[in-house]
Structure 1
Amino acid sequence: MQLITGSRSTTDTPVLPQPAKFRRRRTKYISTIVLFLLPCAVLYSIIVLFPIVQAAYYSLWSWSGLGPLTNFVGLRNFVTALKSATFLLALEHNLIILVLSLALQLPLSLVLALIIGKTLPGRTVFRMIFFMPYILSDVVAGVIWLFIYQPNGLLTVVWQHLFPGSQSPLWIADTHVVLYAIFMTMTWKYLGLSLVLYAAAIQNIPDELVEAARIDGATMLQTVRHITIPLLGSTIRLTILLSALGSLQYFDLIWIMTNGGPVHATETMATYLMKSGFESFAMGYGSAVGVLMFMICLVFALTYQRFVMSKDLAGSVTGPTA
């Protein structure tokens, strides 16, 4: 016996667009994307790509920056830089700043963001206070801290009250102290940026997750460890990348406050580049130093994105899945 279940509706069959019409829509879509991206691509090429290629070309010459290029030296500038004790010392200082930033600056900003949280009264005011140094220009910040580090400055007065009878360090004159004094200024200047990023990420954590954890008997530390920190993972990884790249190419405050001194105690790759290229009129050698600094930052960024941020970048590369 055969059961009749009814005829199948022809409307269930999807109607595919005609090939010609589909191609026209696709061409129009791609043309719109190109139209919007082309001005940005041109500006990016002029401002970023062309100077990089130009610096790489200049690095192959012994050139003072004046007159035509006449003395081709190949990779000699790179070999000289890699053998230079000053350049290697500058690279070491960049790495010290990087380690201090990752070990002290970012954890401190994360702790402050967790303290401010969602419920602290006046949390908006606290965020504004911590963020204010970041919006100051580096020149203003450097001049302010130069006054603080003076022998009769604020920090020396505080030291004498805390440790009466002892002599305070020469904050920007002692070669063993000055780099850490500069780092303290950098922390004051840039702490607010990472704090605001962490605070914004904390605001996006659903309250239901935290409430469910508390109902289950989780303590505040357990909630932070097992809920808050994992959900802040992408933001933490981003701030690590930004902090590391900033540490490897930092220039402003150091140049304003110490000019890389005393006795190269705060020399970084960027200040060494500035002195080599513009003060010593060795533009070819300075370009080689700049290319080396660029390659170090590029290798770090690509490696970090490949092995640490691959999941964070997957959505931006492949797009949302259905």
Structure 2
Amino acid sequence: MPTIPHAPPHLSLVQRTKNVLTNGKFAALVLLLPPALILFSLFVILPLLQSGYFAFFNWNGYGEPTDYVGLKNFEQMIGHSVFHSAIWNTIKIVLVSLLVQMPLALFLALLIYKKTPTNALFRLIFFVPYILAEVAAGLIWSFVFDGHYGVTASVGETFGLEPFFILADRDWAFVAVMTVIVWKYFGFHMMIYIAALQGVPRDLIEAARIEGAKPFDIVRYVQIPLIKPAIIVSAFFAIIGALQVFDVIIPLTNGGPSNTSHTIVTYLYTFGLTRLRIGFGSAIGVVLFITAVAVAIFYQRAAMSPGKKP
């Protein structure tokens, strides 16, 4: 009768510890994790803690903060009409990013996602605005919108219209800002969609065509459902990016005219840093940080949790 081999005995605690210590992954972890933690603590955790501390002081940034004011900075912020306008403008950017920028990026991605030399050229053209520095983009568009010398002036002269200064108009300045934001960042989302569309199996598309599906039906019932994870990630980037818009607005309008084009970040910069009200700016930063974290957690639970997988 053949003997049944016994199962190998379990490794002892000493042997398992030795295997872990001699593992290359553990060595890499020991070498790389401490520097990363130190840098993260110095440049992220420590500034956040300091901002939370400074938010309770009337402090100009020089010396040690001594003038404790409690929640006064938060009360002034909540009662400031410009802050209300900045919140509403930030919400507008979120809505424009979700309802205009992302659909535009998806539409263009569906047109040029196939690998051809012509499509590669169009991808480069559409992606160039994203590569361009935000400050440079703002300066370029400030010239475009100039009522005397820019493209707007040329169009006005062609149709015999009076010079119109969009960036100086309270009703149109932020519309111009949102236009630049859509132009600047839609290429980023377009590239995300192109990468996802190129991963859709061709067999499914061909099968749908054989079954008589029209191009719109293929997009709606085959391609979009399969790239849904990419759309979810793109929407997350759009929302978080909208909460951080700063570099484009400063060279365009600097928050004007009459503080009508501020976002939360430009409001922090203008009424906190430039006026040496570091305590007040820290209070705004705390609110912005809490908002961003709350949005990220809510979005992850609502759209990116395991139960939401397509």
Return the alpha-carbon distance in structure 1 between the equivalents of residues 164 and 5 of structure 2. 88
AA partner of residue 288 (structure 2): M
Q: How does 1:107-122 map to 2 (within 5 A)?
A: 107-118=103-114, 122=118
**Pairing partner for 1:211 from 206, 213, 227:** 206
Asked if 2 retains the 8 angstrom alpha-carbon contact of 1:170 and 1:177, the reply is no
> What residue is the counterpart of 1:154 in the other structure?
151
Give 2:291's aligned residue.
Answer: 296
Query: Using the alignment, how far apart are the partners of 2:110 and 2:205 within structure 1?
Result: 13
Match of 1:53 in 2: 49
- Deviation sequence 1:99-127 (CA, Å, 0-9, x none): 11111011100100001121555111111
Letter in 2 for 1:22: R
SS, match of residue 237 in structure 1: helix
- Residues 68-147 of structure 1 aligned to structure 2 (within 5 Å): 68-118=64-114, 122-147=118-143
Gap regions ≥5 residues in structure 1: 1-5, 315-322
Give the CA deviation at 1:168.
Answer: 6.5
- C-alpha change, 1:205 and 1:15, in structure 2 (3 Å) is farther
Judge conservation of contact 2:255–2:262 (CA < 8 Å) in 1: yes
- TM-score, normalised to structure 1, is 0.88
- Which of 258, 273, 289 is 1:278 aligned to? 273
Residue 317 of structure 1: aligned partner:
none
Structure with higher Rg: it is 1
Q: 1:21 aligns with which of 7, 15, 27?
A: 15
Aligned residue in 2 for 1:311: 306
Matched residue pairs, number? Answer: 306
% identical equivalent positions: 35
Question: Letter of the aligned partner of 1:90 in structure 2?
Answer: A
Contact 2:142–2:251 (8 Å) recurs in 1? no
Q: What code does the residue aligned with 2:247 have?
A: D
CA RMSD of aligned residues (A): 2.2
Distance 1:49 1:209 in 2: 48
Shift of 1:19: 3.7
Unaligned runs of 5+ in 2: none
1:234, distance to aligned residue in structure 2 (A): 1.0
Listed as ranges, the matches of 1:139-288 within 5 Å are 139-151=135-147, 152-158=149-155, 161=158, 164-167=159-162, 169-288=164-283
Deviation (angstroms), 1:210: 1.1
The corresponding residue for 1:3 is none
Q: Which residue of 2 is the match for residue 318 of structure 1?
A: none
- Regions of 4+ moved over 6 Å: none
Whole-Å separation in 1 of the counterparts to 2:156 and 2:216: 34
- Check the 8 A contact 2:302/2:308 in 1, yes or no: no
